Structure formats: structure tokens, C-alpha cells
Structure 1
């Protein structure tokens, strides 16, 4: 299965302080995710993205990045190609698209293939996928609903309610664990498999989020099913517990009557 890694911190984290080296080994060595790697990070006020449709554990480029990146916001992904089972750069996570006056980055673990036909039918010109994955179509679907609601710094009930409701509906189509960021916030949705590790001391706070615990596994806490957590500079600013229904096939995701 694919694996996710995310960081939000009040201070840039040095590479040696993060489990990215271990995470990289899950890209086809210690775990069966050989079909691509990607990492997005914030430097200054900008988001940067590098990725390859190659095994992460044997990539010299990925090795260099995990040894040198120093950032307070990271979203990374290791891919197990399932839908579609095609290794291309366009199908490699994370994905970046613009919405609401800023760039957003997204990475997903799971399968929600029904969302492709739904989003394609909407002809959403504001977010056109570069690849073929259900993940990127789901990303565009989320952004479409956020367009008229998004506000920052992340405590506004309107857009968070919309994000929670749409995430829950997409999750009902299959499995939908994801990391999402607007360059400031780290948003994590744990449908059925995600963990977090929070830390805080005098003047510093951080959270690391991953599909599988790494390092000291006892220090990680699993997400509740359907839990949405939002962090700003390593501090949790919102937590919402949705209740994703068991997967039951196609759902009309364009129906907005029950959205907040």
C-alpha cells in the first residue's frame, strides 16, 4: 500500500531530527511501495516539489533530499501503483494545484476510483489533473468544494465543515487517507490508517504524521476512524471526527444539500 509522511513544526526541522531516512526504506525495500516517491516542502514562503516514478529506497535523488531538506512543513509519499497501475511522473504523488489564491499540495493512501467519473463529468476547469490517478481526481474534487469557502488560519467553521463533509463522502467510496496543505496548514484525514506523533517543549512544537509508525513506535497514536486534524506551525488548531460509511459503491458527490 502507499505510505504518507507529513510534518508541521514551529521551527525548521533538521534532517537528523526526522524519520525520513527510515521512511525512504519503505519505498520498495522494507515495504512494497516501489512505484514512485515524492516530497513537497516549504522553504521561505514557497512550496517546492520533487518526485520520480521510481523506487524511493534506491533513488540517489531521494536519498540526497531526505539527508538535506530542512523545513517546517513537509508532505511526502511512497507509491504502490494500483489505480491505474501505471508508473509515470504525472501519476506520482504528491500533487500540486492552485486554489483560493495559493498553491495546495496533496498525497493519498487508498483507492476511490468512482471519484474519477464524478469529477470528470463536472468539467472543473480550475483543477485539471496532470495524471490519471483517482487520488488526483479526488484532490481536484476537494478543491472544487473549498473554492468558495476557504479561509485561513484554519479555525473557520465554514470551510472546515465543507472539507470534513466532502472527505467523508469520498471515503465512503473506498479508502481515503490523505495529507493536504496550503503552504501554511497541514491537514490530515485518517479514514482507516494514519498515525501521529506530537511533541512540544519551551517555545517549540511539532507533529509528524505517517501511515506506519517509525522509530519509537510506542510514541505514535493512531487516528480515530474518520478523524480530520489540522495543524498550524506544529500546533493542532482543529479536530473533527467524521463517520465515514462502509464502502458501498458510487455516491453522488455532486449533491451538496447536506454539506454545511
Structure 2
């Protein structure tokens, strides 16, 4: 069980506000998800990745990282371990064959391993989440499409009867941001929400002073973004991703919901 946060923006952005100053900040969430944290960002040329196998709120490196990040696409994660110890290899997100991935939920790892071919078995750690990632990459590269790869992976998981609580994830290929909500239980916990920023002027009235200052500053710089999180980080009008749907955020910041099998 973990928490996810990511975004796709029209210009490189940092995450200091979302990590430290938002009402439901990642630092706050890390007090309940304390087995590791990580962040990957696409800077327009390639991926950069920082992660540590202990709590975000205890990190001496996290605040400077949150300020230093300049990402067009960002995927971050705070971990509550259900499989695998507190090691770097078990800490989300992972970068593999050009894709970045972070997951929230538990899956039958041994059932997943039956679906992953030998050439995709080069894992960094011992988690179920990383095996799920490699299965999706395997299917995506076979299909030539990440959404189709996800669909194929879900079908194989269903056909093989692989048990899971949730397959919720954030992923990206450096072009688009993908957010899957696919829970089998605890639908009030395994949630995903998204936010298009900027919103209309009426939405500004409900914001706290801190959030309002942030939004006005971003508007002044012409910043636009689509944000995704396990639960709303701010008082803005976040929209819930329906269960068994994937949100696809394009380079033009279009946000499309696709129903999954």
C-alpha cells in the first residue's frame, strides 16, 4: 500500500509545493507510507531518478531534490512495504527500457512471474510491483503500444487467475503520462484523482491562501499541467478516475479516459 503523485506539464516544473506545502503533501502521506520514497522526471531529453529506501519525511536530500527537479513529466511515490525489504531495488519508481513506473497495491508475485518471459526477468528487487511493471513493458513492446500492452497484461492476469488487491499505477514513456486505476477491493482506498490546471476563476474562491498564491504564480508564468494523485493534494476540483479506467495525458495535455477490460 502506497501513495502516488505525478504530472504532465507544458514546461519544466518542480514539486516543492506538492511535496511540502500542499494540504495533503507527499511528506504528510509519507508518515503513513514510510518504507521508501522516489521521484523520476523527464527533462525533455531523458529521465532522471532519485529514490531512497526510507521515509520521505526523514530524508535530508528530499527538499533540495524537490526544488531542483525540472520535469515535463514527473512520477513520484511513497512506499508502505507489503513485499520485499527496505532496499533501493525495492523502492519505486523504476526506470526500465525507457519506461518509468510506480504502483500502489499487492499482486501475487509468483503468479505474475509465470507470465514474464526470461528476457524480461532482469529485476532490481523482490517486489510484486516490479514484476507487474516488467509484464506490462513486455506486452507493450510486443504490441507496439503502451495502452494495448496494459490491456494485454490485464487480460493475462485475469485468464491466469493472478490475485491482486490493486493494480493502480503511474507510468510514462517520456511522451505521455498513464494512470491506471484497477482495484479489486477497498475501492475507497485504492483511488486515483486528476486535476487540470488552470481551472476556471470560480474554483479559486475555495483555495487556501497558500494554494492560491501557488496557482496565481503558475498562471503568471503560463504554466499548465495535468496532475494525478492517489488522493487530492489541494482544495482544487480534482476528478476521480473511475475504477477499471486508464487516464492518458498527451503532450498537448489532453486527458482521455479509456475503459479497461
Normalised TM-score (structure 2): 0.78
Deviations 1:158-184 (A, max 9, x none): x52342342365487221100111112
Q: Give the stretch that moved more between structures: 34-43 or 232-241.
A: 232-241
Matched, 1:74 2:74: yes
> Are the counterparts in 2 of residues 72 and 233 from structure 1 also a CA contact under 8 Å?
no
> Are the counterparts in 2 of residues 170 and 176 from structure 1 also a CA contact under 8 Å?
no
> 2:207 maps to what in 1?
none
CA–CA distance in structure 2, aligned partners of residues 170 and 63 of structure 1? 38
Change (3 A) 1:169 1:197: farther
- For the residue of structure 1 that corresponds to 2:81, the secondary structure is coil
> Are the counterparts in 2 of residues 35 and 87 from structure 1 also a CA contact under 8 Å?
yes
CA–CA distance in structure 2, aligned partners of residues 59 and 6 of structure 1? 20
CA–CA distance in structure 2, aligned partners of residues 88 and 67 of structure 1? 25
Provide structure 1 residue ranges, at least 5 long, that are not aligned to the other structure.
Answer: 152-158, 244-260
> 1:137 maps to what in 2?
131
RMSD value, Cα: 2.3
Q: Give the stretch that moved more between structures: 51-60 or 190-199.
A: 190-199
> 1:97 maps to what in 2?
96
> 1:23 maps to what in 2?
26
> Are the counterparts in 2 of residues 3 and 79 from structure 1 also a CA contact under 8 Å?
yes
Bigger fraction of residues in strand? 1
> 2:215 maps to what in 1?
none
- For the residue of structure 1 that corresponds to 2:90, the secondary structure is coil
Change (3 A) 1:104 1:121: closer
CA–CA distance in structure 1, aligned partners of residues 252 and 74 of structure 2? 11
Matched, 1:160 2:161: no
**Superposition deviation, residue 68 in structure 1:** 2.6
CA–CA distance in structure 2, aligned partners of residues 166 and 236 of structure 1? 25
Bigger fraction of residues in helix? 2
> Are the counterparts in 2 of residues 207 and 234 from structure 1 also a CA contact under 8 Å?
no
Alignment: residue pair count? 225
- For the residue of structure 1 that corresponds to 2:12, the secondary structure is strand
